[in-house]
Amino acid sequence: MPYGRILSDLVSQYRPRIVLYGATFVGRDLAPRVASFTRSGLTADCTDLQIADVSYLKKEYQDLLLQIRPAFGGNVIATIITPEVPVQMATVREGVMERVTLEHPTEGTITEVPYQPDEMAELISIVERYREESKVNLKAAPIIVAGGYGMGSTENFELLHELADLIGGEVAGSRAAVDAGFIAPERQVGQTGVTVRPKLYLACGISGAIQHRAGMQDAQKIIAVNTDPEAPIFDICHYGIVGDAMDVLPMFMDAYRKKLR
Ligand SMILES: Cc1cc2nc3c(=O)[nH]c(=O)nc-3n(C[C@H](O)[C@H](O)[C@H](O)COP(=O)(O)OP(=O)(O)OC[C@H]3O[C@@H](n4cnc5c(N)ncnc54)[C@H](O)[C@@H]3O)c2cc1C
């Protein structure tokens, strides 16, 4: 595909200070090629980006891009800078940043760039396209009922499906629940799963490890159900219930059904 060459030529020609890519399949493939070709700095999967003046190794740098992301298995949040390169690049996963409305929107300028195919572009041709729509769209769900390893079994997970059906939500899970086979991998929330921002996130039998929180802590309301009062999920939830999810979930459903009557 010619994207790499076209973008590399543009970066070499215009030398922008910053280039951002979506961490999509295409973006993840494209960014390292362009960064390598143009000798730029690149940080993948940033969860936050800031611009600041930085004092580093006795040198002062102005308006550097701070590329912030979890590192070392999510145990630290690293701020990465690439001060000695002219172009700073980062990829950002969909949904990790809040969508804000610009106070002073500007139109921007679109510049048409002529494209001359060369013989390299002819080496690869797309023979057929097959597009399969994703079966779940956790990102769009206003309510997510999530279960963790503490749910204990696939059968117990049925309670979560029942509750989600009742209140109009989607079911999701922690990685431990996915690894245990309680729920499908495309429903995993967290650092290596999907990042969600629903109106309500119900976390049942989920300890609240940092890697899980990375994918759900910006939910508008978080309700946690856990037998362990010390579980870290209670540090970030808005409402916490210390109890066995198998007892609490039927109570939720009863209360909701009564309210509907
Ligand atoms: C590089 C890396 C990436 C990762 N990415 C992700 C990710 O994307 N998403 C993710 O979720 N994890 C991820 N993890 C794993 C993460 O560190 C945790 O291991 C995982 O989130 C734990 O899942 P859990 O809370 O379901 O299980 P556990 O940690 O085993 O917690 C189970 C909880 O259930 C409670 N419990 C037990 N029985 C009941 C009951 N009957 N009722 C109510 N509560 C009960 C327990 O008190 C406990 O708090 C990642 C780890 C690494 C190293």
**CATH code at 18?**
3.40.50.620
pLDDT 10s digits, 112-162? 988 888 777 778 788 999 887 777 889 889 999 999 999 999 999 999 999
Contact by Cβ (8 Å): 196, 144: yes
Arithmetic mean of pLDDT, 90-116: 85
Residue 1's pLDDT is 66
Answer yes or no: is 176 within a domain: yes
Torsions phi, psi for 240 (to 5 deg): -120, 135
Asked if residue 143 and residue 255 are part of one domain, the reply reads yes
Arithmetic mean of pLDDT, 168-189: 96
Query: What is the dihedral angle through the alpha carbons of 128, 4, 137, 217, rounded to the nearest 10 degrees?
Result: 160
Answer yes or no: is 207 within a domain: yes
Single residue among 59, 77, 92 that ends a domain in this structure: 92
Per-residue pLDDT band for 72 (boundaries 50, 70, 90) equals confident
Answer yes or no: is 21 within a domain: yes
Asked if residue 246 and residue 152 are part of one domain, the reply reads yes
Find the helix or strand (DSSP H, E) in which 203 lies. Answer: strand 200-204
* Choice among 74-88, 128-142, 155-169, 181-195 with the minimum mean pLDDT: 128-142
**CATH code at 254?**
3.40.50.1220
Contact by Cβ (8 Å): 110, 65: no
Is residue 151 helix, strand or coil?
Answer: helix
Single residue among 57, 76, 92 that ends a domain in this structure: 92
Tokens of 41: 């700095």
Residue 79 CB–ligand 1 contact under 6 Å: no
Asked if residue 82 and residue 168 are part of one domain, the reply reads no
Contact by Cβ (8 Å): 151, 181: no
List all residues 6 or more positions away from 7 whose beta carbon is below 8 Å from its beta carbon: 30, 34
Question: Which atom of ligand 1 approaches the CA of 190 most closely?
Answer: 8
Please return the burial class of 6, using the count of CB atoms within 10 Å of its CB with bins 0-12, 13-18 and 19+.
middle
Answer yes or no: is 121 within a domain: no
- Tell me which range, 103-117, 125-139, 177-191, is most confidently predicted by mean pLDDT: 177-191
The pTM (predicted TM-score) of the whole model is 0.75
Answer yes or no: is 154 within a domain: yes
Q: How many angstroms does the Cα of residue 206 sit away from the middle of ligand 1?
A: 5
Residue 97's pLDDT is 80
Asked if residue 168 and residue 240 are part of one domain, the reply reads yes
Residue 188 CB–ligand 1 contact under 6 Å: yes
Domain boundaries, position 224: 138-260
Answer yes or no: is 106 within a domain: no
pLDDT 10s digits, 60-71? 999 999 999 988
